[in-house]
């Protein structure tokens, strides 16, 4: 369910990132020395919204796929509010795991450059190349899985008995093992890690399922 959405979202984000890189480099070609990140990029909220908006259809598709995994046959798509909550959760981790780290790297680049726009430009190219060739492909799985997990939770419904299930083919972590060992709880309550549903962290491949599924 998720693979074609991840491929689609990655292509869109790389296109957005390429356009953004061109905008940043164009700003650095101006005569005025750049000494602050806000001379190159929008606010963090607007920056996250730019990336999230580019893949909003894919995030919604992931949430609907999660709901379809556990919803009764013929129950239809997620309610609008549930779909919005699922995509908002994915937007948040997109910012936390991809956009904010990018901004931090670029900000260090600007501060170290101390107004040397040409030197900053060389570092900017390297940073965007790293994000386009490595980080998008590494982090996007987790972003789409977040929307998927929230779709699962919404379709199960509050109060239904659920269990945290680890993927036996994927190496787990102690936190997720704790969630799994918690056994059956009611959907809407938190597991030992404080999460309502999977994923619990970058690289998590667990899933929430109705008890007995």
Instruction: Please state, in angstroms and rounded to a whole number, the distance separating the CA atoms of residues 61 and 47.
Output: 22
> Strand locations in the chain, DSSP E?
161-165, 185-186, 207-210
pLDDT tens string, the chain, 213 residues long: the values are 999 999 999 999 999 999 999 999 999 998 799 999 999 999 999 999 999 999 999 999 999 999 999 887 656 678 999 999 999 999 999 999 999 999 999 999 999 999 999 999 999 999 999 999 999 998 999 999 999 999 999 999 889 999 999 988 877 788 899 999 999 999 999 999 999 999 999 889 999 999 987
Instruction: Please state, in angstroms and rounded to a whole number, the distance separating the CA atoms of residues 83 and 78.
Output: 6
Beta bridge partners of 161: 186
Neighbours of 176 (CB within 10 A): 25
- Helices and strands, counts by H and E, the chain: 8, 3
In our burial notation (b when 16+ CB lie closer than 10 A, e otherwise), range 103-122 reads bebbeebbeebeebbeebbe
Question: For residue 69, what are the contacts with CB-CB under 8 A and spacing of at least 6?
Answer: 1, 151, 152, 155
Site of tokens 């260090």: 108
Residue 212 pLDDT: 80
70 contacts 210 by C-beta, under 8 angstroms: yes
Residue 157 pLDDT: 86
90 contacts 13 by C-beta, under 8 angstroms: no
Burial class (CB within 10 angstroms; exposed 0-12, middle 13-18, buried 19+) of 124 = buried
């Amino acid at each position: 369910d998720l693979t074609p959405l991840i491929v689609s979202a990655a292509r869109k984000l790389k296109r957005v990132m390429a356009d953004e890189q061109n905008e940043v480099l164009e700003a650095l070609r101006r005569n005025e020395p750049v000494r602050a990140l806000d001379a190159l990029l929008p606010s963090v909220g607007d920056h996250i919204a730019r990336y999230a908006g580019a893949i909003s259809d894919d995030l919604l598709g992931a949430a609907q796929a999660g709901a379809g995994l556990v919803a009764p046959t013929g129950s239809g798509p997620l309610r609008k509010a549930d779909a919005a909550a699922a995509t908002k959760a994915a937007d948040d981790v997109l910012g936390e795991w991809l956009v904010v780290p990018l901004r931090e790297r670029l900000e260090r680049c600007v501060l170290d450059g101390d107004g040397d726009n040409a030197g900053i430009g060389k570092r900017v190219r390297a940073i965007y190349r790293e994000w386009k060739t490595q980080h998008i492909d590494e982090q996007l799985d987790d972003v789409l899985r977040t929307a998927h997990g929230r779709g699962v939770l919404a379709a199960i419904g509050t109060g239904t008995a659920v269990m945290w299930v680890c993927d036996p083919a994927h190496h787990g972590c102690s936190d997720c093992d704790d969630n799994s060992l918690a056994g059956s709880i009611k959907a809407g309550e938190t597991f030992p890690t404080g999460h309502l549903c999977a994923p619990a962290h970058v690289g998590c491949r667990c899933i929430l399922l109705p008890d007995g599924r």
